[in-house]
Amino acid sequence: MERNKQIQIGLLAMLAILLIANLFGGGFKSWLGQSEGDKIRAAAITTQGNGNIPGTNLNATSMPQGASDVPPGPTTTIEYEGNEFDFGTVDEGEIVKHLYTFKNTGSVPLVISNCKGSCGCTVPTWPKEPIQPGGSGEIKVEFNSKGKPGPQRKQVTVTANTTPTETFLVIKGDVKGKEQPAAKGN
């Protein structure tokens, strides 16, 4: 019986320590030191343009799967005809649509894994099939101005097998609010 109490107290103490570590400094991982992926990501930031990561036999395009900034496998490049669209002034409630044209300027197929708007009023649609090197594609973005009077600037995050992994599209403009109804009883 006494042994079980000791085990319970030990487990509770360990949980308390882990909770405190999470609250003050990034969890138990900081106690164990940097992970190999963290070291490689930090080194990638300090590369001097040649892509080689100091102290490793890696370069920025061949990082291990643990590196979150670069997807596993070969990467490519994406080039947009324009990554910012100004829709001017629209009346509140209008839906603005725009096609962002892009080209795969790398040497491996481009795979867009996700596109996400900065809010629910901005909805992107993207090609799900790989875009071959030299090929082109379109990302359609719809902005619903309902309930959004005033200046607007929305962002779409495009995640793909590119370096960097995320690129950004912007849709902006001004939404003219609906006229306020006259006060009743006047």
Residue 186 has pLDDT above 90, yes or no: no
Each residue's pLDDT tens digit, 107-126: 999 999 999 999 999 999 99
Q: CB–CB of 138/127 below 8 Å?
A: yes
The predicted structure's pLDDT at residue 149: 95
The predicted structure's pLDDT at residue 169: 97
The predicted structure's pLDDT at residue 175: 96
Range of lowest pLDDT (141-145, 158-162, 176-180): 176-180
Phi, psi (deg, nearest 5) at residue 76: -135, -170
Q: How confident is the model at residue 8 (pLDDT cuts 50, 70, 90)?
A: confident
Each residue's pLDDT tens digit, 121-156: 999 999 999 999 999 999 999 999 999 999 999 999
Residue 17 has pLDDT above 80, yes or no: no
| Of 120, 156, 119, nearest in space to 140 by CA | 156
Helix (H, G, I), strand (E, B) or coil at 106: coil
> What residues form DSSP beta bridges with 34?
none
| Of 17, 45, 12, nearest in space to 30 by CA | 17
Residue 182 has pLDDT above 70, yes or no: no
Q: CB–CB of 60/51 below 8 Å?
A: yes
Rounded CA gap, 84 and 133, in Å? 23
Phi, psi (deg, nearest 5) at residue 98: -145, 140
Residue 68 vs residues 53, 132, 165: alpha-carbon distances, Å: 16, 24, 9
Each residue's pLDDT tens digit, 46-104: 333 344 444 444 444 444 433 344 456 899 999 999 999 999 999 999 999 999 999 99
| Of 159, 84, 154, nearest in space to 121 by CA | 154
Name the pTM for this structure.
0.59
Quote the tokens at residue 115: 């596109």
The predicted structure's pLDDT at residue 13: 76
